[in-house]
């Protein structure tokens, strides 16, 4: 592993309250946790003959739960014993540092702007086997940085030390960042907020991903309302 991995500050480590959105930690016996495990299994089975390491998580519009899903998906991969790295590829409205209670002074923007080494941007989390690279300071040119050779080099470096790398990215219909990242990743998972997002928006997002020549792994249906006899309101499902 790397010699220099930044740890959480002592103040953060004393916080016993877990991040609100990490249901895979706070609800260890919930139906939602089992759904995330199912998504994990489906992703692994989709490409049995190929090594699937870099997974982009995105959505068509804001507020569909892509960041929450990216974080929880990283948790369930780590719970299986995988070495997991989550990268906050949203250089416009980042949230990863809030979810995992980490620093955000040095992150992805510093690395791909060549102002920091990638290992200096990696931080441990309170979950064994799960590290993160936060967004870093918000740059004036996110798309240009994400399309740079430095981003390609970062992927090559982290692939050597991690089994799974999950990238949280901006909504597809808002900016071109996710399309750029999708082209660089082994596969993409699209988050769809059930009953909220317009069907045409999802279709357009799918077309954008197709044009980026990414491997669309499937769709996660988020906030699906289960039948009244079920014990849980929120459900997550996965479809190719």
In this predicted model, what pLDDT tens digit does every residue of 26-45 receive, in sequence order?
Answer: 776 678 889 999 999 999 88
**What structural domains does the chain harbor?**
51-239 (3.40.50.300)
DSSP state of 6: B
Residue 55: phi and psi, rounded to 5, are -120, 120
- Of 145, 155, 143, 148, nearest to 110 by C-alpha is 145
Q: What whole-number distance in Å separates Cα of residue 206 and Cα of residue 201? A: 9
Half-sphere exposure in the Cβ direction for 220 (13 Å, CA): 31
Full-model pTM: 0.86
Q: What whole-number distance in Å separates Cα of residue 69 and Cα of residue 189? A: 10
Query: If residue 11 lies in a helix (H) or strand (E), which one and from where to where?
Result: helix 10-13
Convert the pLDDT of each residue in 113-160 to its tens digit.
999 999 999 999 999 999 999 999 999 999 999 999 999 999 999 999
| 212: its two tokens | 């980026």
């Amino acid at each position: 592993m790397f010699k220099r991995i930044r740890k959480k500050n002592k103040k953060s480590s004393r916080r016993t309250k877990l991040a609100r959105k990490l249901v895979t930690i706070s609800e260890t016996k919930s139906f939602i946790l089992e759904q995330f495990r199912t998504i994990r299994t489906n992703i692994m089975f989709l490409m049995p003959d190929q090594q699937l390491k870099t997974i982009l998580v995105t959505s068509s519009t804001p507020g569909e739960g892509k960041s929450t899903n990216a974080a929880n998906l990283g948790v369930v991969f780590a719970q299986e014993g995988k070495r997991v790295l989550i990268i906050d590829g949203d250089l416009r409205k980042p949230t990863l540092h809030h979810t995992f209670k980490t620093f955000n002074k040095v992150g992805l923007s510093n690395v791909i702007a060549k102002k920091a080494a990638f290992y200096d941007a990696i931080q441990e989390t309170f979950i064994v086997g799960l590290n993160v690279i936060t967004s870093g300071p918000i740059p004036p040119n996110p798309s240009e940085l994400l399309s740079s050779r430095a981003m390609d080099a970062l992927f090559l470096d982290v692939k050597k030390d991690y089994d799974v790398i999950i990238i949280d990215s901006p909504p597809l219909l808002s900016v071109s960042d996710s399309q750029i990242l999708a082209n660089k990743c082994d596969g993409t998972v699209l988050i769809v907020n059930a009953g909220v997002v317009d069907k045409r928006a999802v279709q357009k997002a799918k077309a954008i991903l197709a044009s980026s020549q990414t491997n669309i792994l499937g769709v996660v249906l988020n906030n699906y309302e289960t039948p009244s006899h079920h014990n849980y309101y929120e459900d997550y499902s996965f479809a190719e």
